[in-house]
Amino acid sequence: MDIKVSERLNGIGEYYFSQKLREIEELNKQGKKIINLGIGSPDLPPHPDVVKVLHEESSKPNTHAYQSYKGSPVLRNAISSFYKTWYNADINPDTEVLPLIGSKEGIMHICMTYLNNGDEVLIPNPGYPTYSSAVKLAGGTCREYALTGEHNWEPDFETLENADLSKVKLMWINYPEMPTGKQATVELFERIIAFGKKHNILICHDNPYSFILNEQPISILSVGGAKEVALELNSLSKASNMAGWRVGMMVGASERIEEVLRFKSNMDSGMFLPVQLAAAKALSLDKEWYNSLNSVYAERRELVYQLLNIFNCSYDRAQVGMFVWAKIPSKYKDGYELSDEVLYNKNVFITPGGIFGSNGNGYIRISLCAKKEVLQEALERVTVL
């Protein structure tokens, strides 16, 4: 059959990890037993009470119908309480919350809601690759802004202000930043909000990592005046160990929620009610839950530091989030070379920083989503490089 894919797919390749996982599968078929330290998919289970709610609710006969596009009030109230408890942000559960089937879909929904052909979007380099794919799929044009270690992984506002911003409609930001582990600060958010207001740019903050190895979770919506100009995506994938459940949220001004819902309500028909009720339970967990999670990640991080020391990489111990981002030694051309050497010679996969943008070329990223024993095995394998 002679059928061509749409032009909107031009320049959109298969997601890097989907390709790489296929290669790893092939290597495993050859008996290699690759240790994958690439992907940020939590290996730990959700809290048992969360699984219990899913089990009990899905056993009932009346929980299987289509659900409201705006989500169950139980989940919306839980999201609002979660924002108050942890971020001290006031969010109206009826009008300022939109549950999502994972925050990744929210990135696409926002781009589809606001972008016309040729509209420009500021995206971080390095940053989560989905921002640029979603912008391109929606017909927009990506304008990268540089994040560099020299500039403490913050946008260089002077450079931004000197550029022509007349076509820029959205700006994606993500703090704690993936992949660099840069923590959010109130001052940074204030600066970004002022920038968005001055140039009439909608600030889209992606916030899935605020609870991982981070004592001060911050939401951009807790900063004064943010709702006028910013919206936030959040996720249960990382801090609730529910990546496969696909639960996230968008939070922001009621007008923005209504606008995005115009698009999203044409894409899906709500979320399975027992999943929503279990997610509400997960959002109500207390500090003990996050402490238990983080004590596991902290131990693993020590082993990852050892691994990075063997590679002679340098890294900042003040990083937060689910990965360690590290600068490679100059003997390697880029992170791809180091990653390939370790994959093909030591059967360990680590992510080359270049997949997150050109400013990541001199870096690698190691995930903390591997058990201690697995990290120890990786250490043994790479000891002699």
For ligand PLP, the binding residues (CB under 6 A) are 40, 102-104, 128, 174, 178, 206, 208, 235, 237, 243, 248
Nearer to ligand PLP, 153 or 332 (CB): 153
Nearer to ligand PLP, 96 or 177 (CB): 177
Q: How far apart are CA 194 and CA 196, in angstroms?
A: 5
Nearer to ligand PLP, 103 or 347 (CB): 103
Q: How far apart are CA 10 and CA 296, in angstroms?
A: 42
Instruction: Write the single-letter amino acid at 5.
Output: V
Q: How far apart are CA 384 and CA 96, in angstroms?
A: 54
Nearer to ligand PLP, 101 or 165 (CB): 101
In angstroms, give the least distance from the CB of 185 to ligand PLP: 18
Phi/psi for 56 (5° steps) reads -65, -45
Q: How far apart are CA 75 and CA 183, in angstroms?
A: 28
- The answer to whether 119 and 332 have CB atoms below 8 angstroms apart is no
- The answer to whether 103 and 233 have CB atoms below 8 angstroms apart is yes
Nearer to ligand PLP, 165 or 171 (CB): 171
Segment holding 238, helix H or strand E:
none
Nearer to ligand PLP, 128 or 311 (CB): 128
Nearer to ligand PLP, 16 or 305 (CB): 16
In angstroms, give the least distance from the CB of 162 to ligand PLP: 28
Nearer to ligand PLP, 204 or 304 (CB): 204
Contacts (Cβ under 8 Å, ≥6 apart) of 60: none
In angstroms, give the least distance from the CB of 237 to ligand PLP: 3
In angstroms, give the least distance from the CB of 164 to ligand PLP: 28
In angstroms, give the least distance from the CB of 298 to ligand PLP: 20
Q: Please, where are the H alpha helices in 170-286?
A: 186-199, 254-264, 273-283
Phi/psi for 59 (5° steps) reads -80, -10
In angstroms, give the least distance from the CB of 124 to ligand PLP: 10
Nearer to ligand PLP, 210 or 235 (CB): 235
Helix/strand/coil for 289: helix
Mark residue 153 as left, alpha or beta (left: phi above 0; alpha: psi -120 to 50; beta: remaining): left
Which residue from 365, 290, 245 is spatially nearest to 86, judged by alpha carbons?
A: 290
In angstroms, give the least distance from the CB of 132 to ligand PLP: 13
In angstroms, give the least distance from the CB of 177 to ligand PLP: 8
**Torsion, CA 320, CA 321, CA 322, CA 323, rounded to 10:** -50
Segment holding 98, helix H or strand E:
strand 97-100
In angstroms, give the least distance from the CB of 322 to ligand PLP: 8
